[in-house]
């Protein structure tokens, strides 16, 4: 490959990467904790879309448990978002001759 072909290929990869990043923001995941009593909806890019809390947890005596469940639901949603993001980016880079361990985006 000459330098022009390499530059063109790099531009194509960059355009595909931008499309993939944009599509990740349209994929939704839901993290849950406490048997579904606390739910966090997020995009695969990690943007939080909404939080749902069961009414039974809205008592001052349940404050600490509620805080813990919210944190757990956020972490669950983030883990699911990361998994989908890695899966989608893996599809895009499947045919690229990248060295082992190299991750996109840079």
Ordered by start, the domain boundaries in the chain are 3-93
Non-local (6+) Cβ contacts of 99 within 8 A are none
**Of how many residues is the chain composed?**
106
User: Among all chains, which residue has been given the structure tokens 């072909």?
Assistant: 5
Q: What is the value of pTM for the model shown? A: 0.66
Give the helix/strand (H/E) hosting 68: helix 63-93
The CATH number, out of the four listed (3.40.50.2300, 3.30.1310.10, 1.10.220.70, 3.40.50.20), of the domain defined by the range 3-93: 3.30.1310.10
For the stretch 46-103, pLDDT in tens is 889 999 999 998 999 989 999 999 999 999 999 999 898 888 777 766 666 555 555 5
For the stretch 10-52, pLDDT in tens is 788 888 888 888 888 888 999 999 999 999 999 888 889 999 9
Q: Are 38 and 98 in contact (CB under 8 A)?
A: no
């Amino acid at each position: 490959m000459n330098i022009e072909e390499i530059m063109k290929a790099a531009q194509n990869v960059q355009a595909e990467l931008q499309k993939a990043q944009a599509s990740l923001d349209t994929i939704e995941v839901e993290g849950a904790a406490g048997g579904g009593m606390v739910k966090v909806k997020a995009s695969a890019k990690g943007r939080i879309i909404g939080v749902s809390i069961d009414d039974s947890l809205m008592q001052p005596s349940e404050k600490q448990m509620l805080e813990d469940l919210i944190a757990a639901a956020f972490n669950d949603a983030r883990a699911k978002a990361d998994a989908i993001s890695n899966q989608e980016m893996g599809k895009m880079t499947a045919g690229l001759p990248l060295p082992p361990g190299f991750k996109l985006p840079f």
